[in-house]
Structure 1
Amino acid sequence: MCGSVGRMSTPRDLIPRQAEHLVSDSLEDTRVVLINGARQAGKSTLTRLITGSRPDAIIRLLDDRATLQAARDDPVGFVEHDALMVIDEIQLVPELLRSIKVAVDLDPTPGRFLLTGSSRILALRTLPDALPGRMEVIELWPFSQGELHDGADRFIDAAFAHGPALKHTSALRKRDYLERAVVGGFPEAVRRNSRRRSAFFNSYLSTLIERDVLELASIERHGELLKLVALLAGRAGGLLVPGTLAGASGIPRTTLVRYLELLSSVFLIKTIPAWSSGLTQRAVATGKLAFVDTGIACHLIGQDANRLADPDGAAGPMLENFAVMELARQLTWSEQQGRMYHYRTKDKLEVDAVIETPDGRVIGVEVKAGATVRTDDLAGLRNLARLLGDRFVAGYVLYTGAQTLSFGDRIRALPMEALWHLAP
């Protein structure tokens, strides 16, 4: 490709993404498609995969200074094109959305624009128009384990299709899962060794705070926000209580809530909402904290696989974060639609992930770092099964052991690897 406008070559060794067919399908019936996700998650590479079969597509990269200036100077002329136009990092010039709206209103042909963004476009302060009814948003996450290791990535579909009949045997052990958690899923981190990966994470976090967050809000005290990010990493998998975090960080509660919203908007953290069936008043309504990429969380707490495996290491919360975010990734492409929650009662019975379909069916997933499963590990799932009755499809304990184990009615223990290898 010459400069910032033209064709992108498509290397044969690009890892296929699960989102590719979602984007391709959307372009068939939607005027504007937005690939939204974390910086460095592979959005630009995905557009190469999509446009490889579209020789008339044109690609404009707003990271290029001259292209950025052209977009600002003449947004109407910038978006003129008869075929598919890809605009990378649209959040850098959000006023282009107004010109795109006019263009697709005049010509409603599907597949006019493919946009990418590394912050939640709808949260931008200067957003002129959200293109209601004209734009479909597809989230792109860092690599899933299935994408990295040639797995089916269909555990959710398999669970709702087969319930407690799921079985899997794995050769992976706890150390293998910890190594994968430490690496995470960012393409640049995956290809680097440990020392160079650490340098990438440092650069990534610095850019995220000093550039991406500033696109959303004016932040004067960057150091305060970086301190909060480190504090949050140590609480991954825990309840997200702003008052408690404000006390621990010294940041006023109102400011802290704003910071949390910003960190979510740039895809660093995710809140897993609390689940309640409405049948009980014993459920805790507070959301849980997760990091979009477990590799970054491990980097922030300063623990490699060896340190995580120590008796006082953070293997438990990091592997929980790892598994829960694999489920979150799958929900963006699974055939079975559903939403993910966590469940915790005031008596401290809990289930790490509760996935509920629109028709009310539920699966529960509990994550354990150990290679054995104890009776206490099943308490939350059994409580959920009693509460829901026939709506409860199955409960699974994902652990670091090798075999599938049955624990009675609709409760099974599965190797964590089942997450990315099982399919309906």
Structure 2
Amino acid sequence: MYSYNYEQGNNLTLSDVQPWELNKYLRKVRFTNSAGDEVFFDEHGDLTSGFDIINWIVFPDETLVGTRVGRINTQTSAEEQFILHEKTIQWGSGFTTTPRSVCSESCLPGYRKSSRTGQLSCCFDCIPCPEGEFSNQTDMSTCLKCPATQWPNSNRDDCIDKEIIYLSYEDPLGTSLALISVLFFLLTTLVMGIFIKYQNTPIVKANNRDLSYILLLSLKMCFLCNLIFIGHPLQVTCILRQTVFGVTFSISVSSILAKTVTVIIAFNVTRPGSKFRGWMGSIVSNSIVLFCSLIQVLICAVWLGSSPPFPYNNMEDEIGKILLTCNEGSLIGFYCVLGYMGFLAFISFIVAFLARNLPDSFNEAKFITFSMLVFCSVWVSFIPAYMSSKGRYTVAVEIFAILASSAGLLGCIFIPKCYIILLRPERNTRAYLTQKK
């Protein structure tokens, strides 16, 4: 664009022309070209007439023939400004198809265009969409993200629903854990039936049979509470699974603590002038169970009242999957439940360890010591395994810890007694239990 310096009059030179002054004179230009079209410029200096699109054909004798194949109209609507009759276009003999105006093939869905450095925009590379993104049209310059509940398919050209995962009863892992829990529940029921049938024998009466019944009932509940952990997480199951587990295990461990205290009292009461004679009976042992269990109930109540567990759709741990889990709400509350249970187990272990060598022919403290050692080992191993696992395996780890620790209590404390009751009845006599070794 050029303009001129009007202060010098009409004698114009090229150096006098300035861009912002040419508009004034272009608006006055109007003429008819050789095709009979009137050519003129508007107030902005833009050409108002249209242009014909000519297809020039060069013949072997170097003659030219121009054919009108379209037109650009600046005065019409946007849809009609560009008209091209593709069928009337003739290409030279060297072309068998219409030449392409790009140097790269189109990018298919699932890919995006990436410009080549230092080359024209028509030259590009096709890059696969990154993980979590897709493209559903050709030659897209950017890939799109799927909604939160969806994930790109294998071709990354569409979104599909994410796979929903949780520990279900149809899952082989869930089926196995549920079956093992039921089998241990039935085994505990069998042991309890044996103790009830032989309740008047010396070995059942030796260490407070009421505590044995309480312990067996709580172990049955511990095995059954595993079933709450399996299945689709719901608000009610998320609340029940940890609280039922925490309370029933506290009853179990406090029963063991009461059993150990009973052993110590029973030994000391035989001494002349012992002050422990008034402590014999079920009142002391039942009070220990009740008091220790109520503390756990209080901890669970505070936890549920402040920040209870709730169902949670975890979309971060595994790519392309939704892990249905229970968010524990307050982790402090959850670890307080575990911590208190561990505290009871530790106290029971220490007391039983100190009483393991008391001179009784059937000293239950030895078995309690070993059972608490197994119990503590399982739950110390549980914490790092629980923290490092993800998804349904987190639930499976906790179920395994419940099974292992409950089975340890059942096996260490009750199986030796059942062995004597069923297979060595000659040892299940008062004379045998009271003899000095």
Give the TM-score taking structure 1 as reference length. 0.22
Greater Rg by CA: 2
More helix by share: 2
